[in-house]
Amino acid sequence: MPNTFLHPFTNPSWGQEDLINVVKAKGSILWDDKGKDYVDGLASLWYCHVGHDEKRIINAVTDQMNTLATYNTFAPFTNDVAVRAADAVAEVSPHPDGRVFFASSGSESIDTALKISRLVQQRRGHADKQIVVKRTRGYHGVNFGGTSAQGIETNRTGWGDLVPHFMEAPADDIEAMASIFAQHGANIAAVLTEPLQGAGGVFPPPEGYLEGLRRLCDDHDALMIHDEVICGFGRTGSWFGSQTFGVTPDLITFAKGVTSGYQPVSGVIMSKQVGEELETLNDLLRHGYTYSGHPAGMAAVMANIQVIKDDGLVERANYVGEKISAGLQALQDDGMIESFDGVGAIWGAELGRNAVPVRDHMLHVNGVVVRPVYTRIAMCPPLILTDDEIARLLDSLAEGLTVTPVDA
């Protein structure tokens, strides 16, 4: 029987007995209510970079809540911890001299960036620049703006009419993108793209693709938005995917890894130029969320960034990636997978068949959490994953490929 809690991205008819009840987590390991342990090969949902039960973050949040647990940051109020958290985010980003806006979820950060990109064009006198161009396979949250910006069609259907002025280009086709700009460049406000497409199956950009997008935006006075909700805070082997791939956007959305999930925090980093554009408003920025700059969340931001620095986790992402990619290469050499893609500590294996049965075997038999995306298995573990845990993940994938029927 379904219970009162309506789970996200879950069949509403399912009951508690159909789900795994997680009761404890530490490091890269989870335990359910039956005592079974699992390797968390997805960092919960692409976000627990520092691993579970990290006391340095827990203690920082507790200390903050014992001082100032919560208060809003709408004018005329502020708090020092939000200011310091913004400084900490900007410092490690491609825009150390930019501005940082805080929200609570990746979906909110996307809608914020979409609104800011249109506002900037309005401020520049370009009233007709409202089109946002997005890519097939792109995942940009589930608020109305992000749903409209979805490059995953199944997530767009069933809701009725969505937000207008979005256009979609094939994921890796820079010529198709150039054609859209040639026809509609005068009306394009921005391009929205993940540096590496994550939830769509883990697809790094083709060589030169992001550079081509940057040129198209520059040539047509459009803003470039990087959705780094998954890529940010060390996941790709740099602090941000923008740095990994060497292309600097005008706006960066972030969430997930900014606190490793210990508090629900997200936001938008904007370039100095975009920030200065907003400073000329001479009026309120009529956008914000109840929990923008929430003190306890801001404490988690600063503590999480410090843990990543102190423990060298940006560099460790590359170490984890080298181990995983070597294992995937061996599986490809043995003909067990067709191909694989990734960078840093985020990888996707192309199976050439339905990935769900393989995931189910890994999860229910071997106790390894990964994510099936059509014919691909996505892996995005905590950056602290040990060698033994990496081996368990890869051995489980090999076993799942061996014992599940190809035509399942």
Angle at CA 309, nearest 5°, toward 306 and 311?
105
Judged against a pLDDT cut of 80, whether residue 1 lies above it is answered with no
Residue 206 has pLDDT above 70, yes or no: yes
CB-based contact 152:93 (threshold 8 Å): no
Mean pLDDT of the chain: 97
Q: How confident is the model at residue 168 (pLDDT cuts 50, 70, 90)?
A: very high
In this predicted structure, the answer to whether residue 408 has a pLDDT above a threshold of 70 is no
269, with CB counted inside 10 A (0-12, 13-18, 19+), is buried
Q: Set out the domains of the chain in order of their start, with CATH numbers.
A: 16-53+311-403 (3.90.1150.10), 57-310 (3.40.640.10)
> Which residues face 30 on adjacent strands?
25, 38
Q: pLDDT tens for residues 139-151? A: 999 999 999 999 9
Residue range 35-61: mean pLDDT, rounded: 98
> For the segment 75-127, what is each residue's pLDDT rounded down to a tens digit?
999 999 999 999 999 999 999 999 999 999 999 999 999 999 999 999 999 99
Kindly report the number of other CB atoms within 10 A of residue 405's CB atom: 8
Are residues 223 and 124 in contact, defined by beta-carbon separation less than 8 angstroms?
no
Note the pLDDT tens digit of each residue in 322-373: 999 999 999 999 999 999 999 999 999 999 999 999 999 999 999 999 999 9
Closest CA to 224 of 209, 203, 239: 209
* Mean pLDDT, residues 163-177: 98
Residue 272's CB is within 10 A of a number of other CB atoms, namely: 12
Q: Count CB-CB contacts under 10 A for residue 85.
A: 29
